[in-house]
């Protein structure tokens, strides 16, 4: 009887051991399956029931948008057009709807009354599926487009050279805010300012007192906070004229200026403000139509130069933002290069936006042909379009701002401008 009981206990122990081993085996395999599920989920990221989908990043959204754009629509983003008439007419409407440009630039010829300009801008924006850079040259001093207003007291802002003499960084920032606040009510969102040029040549015919000063430190100390003020008020600043137009004695509107400096000399002076702006997060930089033979070994304008744009600006200074040309209708380019050469060479150089081609419809077709024949790759076009869209969406150009006419010429603005002595 005793032996029988022992056998029973032995059998029970064996059963328990077997059950424990089976249980351990099942747990091990279940954990292995869970591990495989985690790996599969990490690799494939399937969305399970009840799980919140991951929000795509801005870059991912833009990549997807670019995938769905036609080649012509992408090229259009690389064009800023002008149309110097007071009225919005059928010809302008056709240009905008055919080119689908990334931007439009206003000139004094487009300015009359507040209501007229704001309505003009609304009509331009209405032709676009992608938000447009509505731009202007508003610098202060002798470059002030909106002073032509007949029904609003747009402030007359002293030159940046006069502002620079104050050495007051806080005032520079406030002046930037004032200037931007007087542009936003029209639907403008981009200003081709400030100048980072150094007024180092007294014979300079085109820059002069548009610069903040005659030395690099003054330009840096004043231009950077000025731009911060513009950004805070809702305007994208465009730093210009890379790599520095201050030491020239010719006007690129009528001829090709030449800067006879070596790269080392540029790094000691002209490039310092641009380097500082890039380190502070510059979004857009405009390239000048100036030749630098001691840098490039030729007289190709910086706008068309891979050594200047792709080499110095992109690679050496590390600028990843939007590069825009100065107006390509200016004689420094237009008298020496065909529109096809300008389109090809600017894009090959690393430029993203071509400002004011003489025939914008033809420019789009020209670039399209260059891509189709393999001279320019579509991937190169995509690079520029991505940079452009990043700037547009980061600055929320897709969101309409409140347009308040009362901010133009307000007493608060007058008090700030009166501090410039």
Active-site residue numbers?
Answer: 253, 326
H-state helical runs in 127-270 = 160-164, 169-181, 216-232, 263-268
Tokens encoding 284? 């857009």
- Rounded distance between C-alpha atoms, residue 53 and residue 45, angstroms: 10
| Cα-based distances in Å from 374 to 105, 360, 369, 380 | 31, 21, 8, 11
In the three-class reduction of DSSP (H, G, I as helix; E, B as strand; rest coil), residue 354 is classed as strand
Angle at 351 between CA 326 and CA 310, to 5 degrees: 120
- Rounded distance between C-alpha atoms, residue 193 and residue 178, angstroms: 13
- Rounded distance between C-alpha atoms, residue 346 and residue 362, angstroms: 16
Tell me the angle at which helices 271-279 and 216-232 cross, rounded to the nearest 10 degrees: 40
Measured in residues, the chain has a length of 421
Q: Are 308 and 349 in contact (CB under 8 A)?
A: yes
Q: How far apart are the first and last CA of the chain?
A: 118
Burial of 22 (C-beta count, 10 Å sphere; 0-12/13-18/19+)? exposed
Q: Give the single-character DSSP code of 68.
A: T
Tell me the angle at which helices 339-349 and 378-394 cross, rounded to the nearest 10 degrees: 70
From the CB of residue 254, how many other CB atoms can be counted at a distance below 10 Å?
13
Q: Are 78 and 384 in contact (CB under 8 A)?
A: yes
Q: Are 378 and 71 in contact (CB under 8 A)?
A: yes
CA–centroid distance for 30 within its chain: 53
Task: Name the strand (E) or helix (H) holding 271.
Answer: helix 271-279
């Amino acid at each position: 009887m005793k032996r029988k009981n022992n056998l029973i206990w032995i059998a029970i122990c064996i059963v328990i051991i077997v059950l424990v081993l089976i249980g351990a085996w099942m747990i091990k395999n279940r954990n292995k399956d869970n591990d495989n599920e985690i790996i599969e989920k990490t690799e494939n990221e399937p969305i399970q029931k009840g799980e919140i989908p991951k929000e795509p990043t801005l870059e991912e959204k833009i990549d997807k948008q670019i995938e769905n754009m036609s080649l012509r629509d992408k090229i259009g983003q690389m064009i800023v057009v002008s149309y110097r008439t007071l009225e919005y007419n059928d010809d302008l409407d056709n240009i905008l709807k055919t080119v689908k440009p990334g931007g439009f630039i206003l000139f004094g010829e487009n300015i009359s009354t507040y209501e007229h300009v704001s309505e003009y801008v609304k009509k331009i924006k209405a032709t676009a599926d992608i938000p447009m850079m509505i731009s202007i040259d508003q610098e202060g001093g002798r470059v002030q487009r909106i002073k032509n207003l007949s029904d609003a007291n747009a402030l007359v802002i002293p030159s940046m050279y006069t502002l620079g003499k104050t050495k007051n960084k806080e005032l520079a920032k406030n002046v930037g805010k004032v200037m931007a606040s007087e542009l936003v009510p029209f639907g403008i969102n981009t200003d081709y300012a400030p100048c980072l040029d150094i007024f180092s040549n007294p014979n300079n015919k085109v820059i002069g007192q548009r610069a903040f000063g005659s030395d690099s430190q003054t330009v840096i100390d004043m231009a950077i906070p000025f731009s911060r003020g513009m950004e805070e008020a809702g305007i994208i600043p465009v730093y210009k004229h890379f790599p520095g137009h201050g030491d020239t004695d010719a006007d690129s509107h009528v001829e090709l200026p030449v800067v006879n400096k070596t790269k080392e000399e540029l790094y000691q002076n002209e490039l310092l403000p641009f380097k500082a702006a890039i380190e502070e997060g510059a979004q857009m930089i405009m390239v000048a139509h100036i030749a630098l033979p001691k840098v490039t070994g030729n007289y190709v304008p910086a706008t068309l130069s891979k050594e200047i744009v792709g080499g110095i600006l992109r690679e050496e200074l590390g600028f990843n933002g939007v590069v825009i040309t100065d107006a390509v209708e200016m004689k420094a380019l237009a008298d020496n290069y065909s529109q096809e050469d300008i389109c090809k060479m600017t894009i090959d150089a690393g430029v993203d936006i071509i400002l004011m081609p003489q025939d914008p419809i033809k420019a789009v077709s020209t670039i399209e042909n260059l891509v189709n024949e393999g001279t320019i790759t579509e991937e190169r076009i995509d690079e520029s379009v991505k940079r452009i869209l990043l700037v547009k969406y980061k600055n929320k150009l897709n969101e309409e701002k409140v347009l308040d006419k009362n901010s133009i010429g307000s007493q608060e603005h007058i008090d700030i401008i009166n501090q410039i002595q």
